[in-house]
Structure 1
Amino acid sequence: MGARTVGIAMSGGVDSTIAALLLLQKGHRVHGFHMLLPLPQSDAQCRRTQQIARQLSIPLTIIDLRRSFTEQVVTPFINSYQAGITPNPCIYCNETIKFGLLAQTMLQQGMHLVATGHYAQIHDQQGALFLARGIDQGKDQSYFLARLTAKQLQTALFPLGTWTKKQVYAQAAAAGLQRTNQESQDVCFLTQGMATFFANHGFQEHPGPIVSTDGRQVGAHRGIWHYTIGQRRGLGSPDKTPWYVIRLDENRNQVIVGKQEELFTGRCSLHSLRWTYEAPPLPWHGLVQLRSRHLPVLSELTANGAGSWSLSFAAPQRAVTPGQFAVLYKDNRVIGSAVIDKDKEAL
């Protein structure tokens, strides 16, 4: 690749900083872009990014995406939790904000490519571009980028895809860069914790029963949004052996709990299935990742009809959570993704 004009999303953290530095070292014309988001430390983060841009001697444009981020990421997150669903807002943000509105702004301002500090790669398979895992298995972020379309991948660039986190830290030290040790959060708007977040958004306590899978009331909860599948803490267990959240019933305002073995299931239903390119013949067999740090499992995908698909696992999986994404891989390439449906009652 020859020298290009590259826009890079900069947060003030070490990953985007080193990604920008690597682009400069390759001779690209680099322009930083910082998203102004409705976050508790937004002003400090912006000042840190401005300082880094000065250190790198690159221009920096600040884009105010607070309203769009609230509408497209935060509000759906709140609505999902109220419905007893555990969403993954980072995936939606990457699709609609970073590689949506931000990328559109970069391209409109003359950028040829859109870069970020994600640990992922793009593989060219006979002219078709696929998202692929980064080589650092502990930092791979292909799961969070799984909803990017083929069109979005055409202008995407991930300079850290072939780097490890250890190498990134070493590069930062060697370059003498300051204030680059800021790490991004899993969910950036939850830095003050879930309880504080919901309280700040006007959530009132909505008490209800904690019920065992055989229908016995074993406790009480303050609101189903305090819980997610697989959770153990905060249940007030009725005996000394551990209890876990098995599912959430927003219609009855119940938290259903059970023992460890009840967390495992051999299948789940999916909706909103999206393939990167053409849909393969069904049944499809391959590796599926159910959470960001989940060990991929060999699975079979079949169609249920009416926008629903069934995913069967070669081995039972723990805490399969409605609202999370099932990401489908062929080797290390993402070929599709779907949302886990709320059908636990039928399993």
Structure 2
Amino acid sequence: YRSFLKYKLPEIEEKYNNGNFISTDGKILGKHKGFPFYTIGQRKGLEIAVGEPLYVNKIVPETNTIVLGNKADLMSKEMVVSKCNFVKYAQIPDGKELMAKVRYKDKGTKCKVFNVNGNLKIEFSELVSAITPGQSAVIYENNDLVAGGFIE
């Protein structure tokens, strides 16, 4: 991925080099090679060691900062989905129990869906790892596609 970005955007490495890796409590842990080269949940290739495995928990493009934390910090029970396309229902009834997928090959997780300010608030029945802003979320009822949109 890094080589593809550098091929397509030769200036990218120089433009975003030397951002900070910080801990979830705000301590600077080291420098990174630019936020575009990392993804939420990434562990490999961070080139930083602090005595425990660290994962990319959050990417802050505005400050070229990457927040690192442990695996538990990646877990969440909710998300907001925007720019929704509705397929099965014109509007999903609040509290409807459905299944949401947050990545390719995701088995899906049971959830309740709520309409909030033109977006969907998804409350999962169990913790989900590495919910990534900007990625697609897809909502199903059994095998029927209900809606899809983008994770906020």
TM-score (norm 1): 0.41
Secondary structure of 2:4's counterpart equals helix
Secondary structure of 2:63's counterpart equals coil
1:316 deviation in Å?
A: 0.9
Secondary structure of 2:73's counterpart equals helix
Distance 1:290 1:324 in 2: 7
Q: Percent sequence identity over matched residues?
A: 26
* 2:107 counterpart residue number: 295
Distance 2:136 2:26 in 1: 29
1:239 deviation in Å?
A: 2.0
Secondary structure of 1:225's counterpart equals helix
* 2:13 counterpart residue number: 204
* 2:29 counterpart residue number: 218
* 2:82 counterpart residue number: 271
Higher helix share: 1
Q: Which residues in structure 2 correspond to 1:1-347 (within 5 Å)?
A: 194-202=1-9, 203-205=12-14, 206=16, 207-277=18-88, 278-305=90-117, 307-341=118-152
Deviating beyond 4 angstroms after TM superposition, the runs of 4 or more aligned structure 1 residues are none
1:229 deviation in Å?
A: 0.4
* 1:140 counterpart residue number: none
Unaligned 5+ segments in structure 2 are none
Distance 2:71 2:131 in 1: 13
Distance 2:39 2:113 in 1: 25
Distance 2:92 2:119 in 1: 16
Higher strand share: 2
Q: Quick one: which amino acid aligns to residue 225 of structure 1?
A: P
* 1:103 counterpart residue number: none
1:204 deviation in Å?
A: 3.1
Residues 61-85 of structure 1 show CA distances to partners (whole Å, capped at 9, x for unaligned) of: xxxxxxxxxxxxxxxxxxxxxxxxx
RMSD of equivalent CA atoms: 1.3
Bigger relative contact order (CA 8 A; separation at least 6): 2
Q: 8 Å contact 1:266–1:314 — kept in the other structure?
A: yes
Q: 8 Å contact 1:273–1:339 — kept in the other structure?
A: yes
